[in-house]
Amino acid sequence: EANSGGIFLNNSTSGAINITTVDGQAGVTTVAGAISITNAATQNIKVAQVVTAGSGGVTLNAGNVLDIDAVVTATGSTMDLDGKSIDIDANVIAAGTTTLDASDGSIDIAASSRLTNSSGDITMNAAGAISLGDGANAAQATVTNSGTGNISITTTSAGNLTIDDDSILIGDGTLTINAAGNFTIATTNGATQQIDSDGDISITANGVGLTQTLDITGDAGGDRTLTVSNTSTSGERTAINVVTDQFSSVVYTQADANTSADIDFTGVDDIDIDGGDTSVTLESVVLTAADINFEFDLTEAQNVVVKTVTADTAGATSTISIESSGNVTINSGSITAGGAVLIEADE
């Protein structure tokens, strides 16, 4: 159907909604006005043909599965996609606040399909897993916020987050990832980034990278913060490779002493942390090339052993903070910073 005003449909009884071609008219289009389609029954919405709001938001609210196989566009406005699970195999284009909510299942965006927003935030919440497929290239990432807005991706109920090459592209906004389960990387191609971010990045997950490595690139501004919290209590590791001089501060927290981390930066900078049953060892933390502030916190009531932590070059003011719910032991190495050094132990 094509309409010069808005289109509002609410199915409150039974039956699936299939947006397809009827009497030669493909999909649903408004010249001006919003589109809102709700299936209040526990049934699916399938987008088999285009949905285009000429000037207004798009809301697709499925009582069961929201299945998008054709382009959905909210011209200059917001996008609200809801269902027990959401499956996207086409482009979804917005220019305003964009929200995806899978209340009882997963969100899956297929390879070379895209969710893009040029104005406002992107928020994705799933009770289950979230999977972001391989982007077409670095400029056409699977989830892209080309404005100044943020991207927030959250899984609950132990849902995993899986991303691939060129899965996330964001400008100066904050990228926040909260995975109740593992944060895994589908690709083995170490030469291609999975995240391209010019802003701050915050990651909370039951391990990051695991058997693969998360590759991060950006604008090489060297003025942002990377915050990582590994919530694993069974040894899932953190493995990150930062391929540009992106961050001025790194905040790393782990819930279990028996968890290892390897975060590589440009030049000689590297964070190498080795886990153990009763203590975690800061084997080698060298952040001198980019003068990066470093903060480490072990929340389990175990010990921290420090071998070498260095964040100092001539004229630098980088700071170091080491906190433990157990003891902190400075072993044969040293702690060197151009600025303040804070060591805090609860035992």
57-101, pLDDT tens digit by residue?
Answer: 999 999 999 999 999 999 999 999 999 999 999 999 999 999 999
Percent of the chain with pLDDT over 70: 96
Does the structure show a pLDDT above 60 at 173?
yes
Percent of the chain with pLDDT over 90: 81
Distance CA 265, CA 187 (A): 20
Instruction: Average the pLDDT over 149-178 and give the result.
Output: 96
Does the structure show a pLDDT above 90 at 200?
yes
Does the structure show a pLDDT above 70 at 279?
yes
Does the structure show a pLDDT above 70 at 114?
yes
Of the ranges 127-136, 165-174, 179-188, 312-321, which one carries the lowest mean pLDDT score? 312-321
Distance CA 188, CA 199 (A): 25
Residue 7 pairs in a beta bridge with 35
Are 130 and 156 spatial neighbours (Cβ–Cβ below 8 Å)? no
Tokens 């959401």 belong to residue: 86
User: Cα 186 to the chain's mean position, in Å?
Assistant: 14
Does the structure show a pLDDT above 60 at 1?
no
Model-level pTM? Answer: 0.95
| Residue 318 CA: distances (Å) to CA of 31, 289, 309, 335 | 55, 11, 12, 12
How sure is the predictor about 314, in pLDDT bands with cuts at 50, 70 and 90? Answer: low
pLDDT in the model for residue 291: 85
Across the chain, mean pLDDT equals: 93
Distance CA 39, CA 84 (A): 12
Does the structure show a pLDDT above 90 at 107?
yes
- State how beta strands 25-26 and 21-22 pair: antiparallel
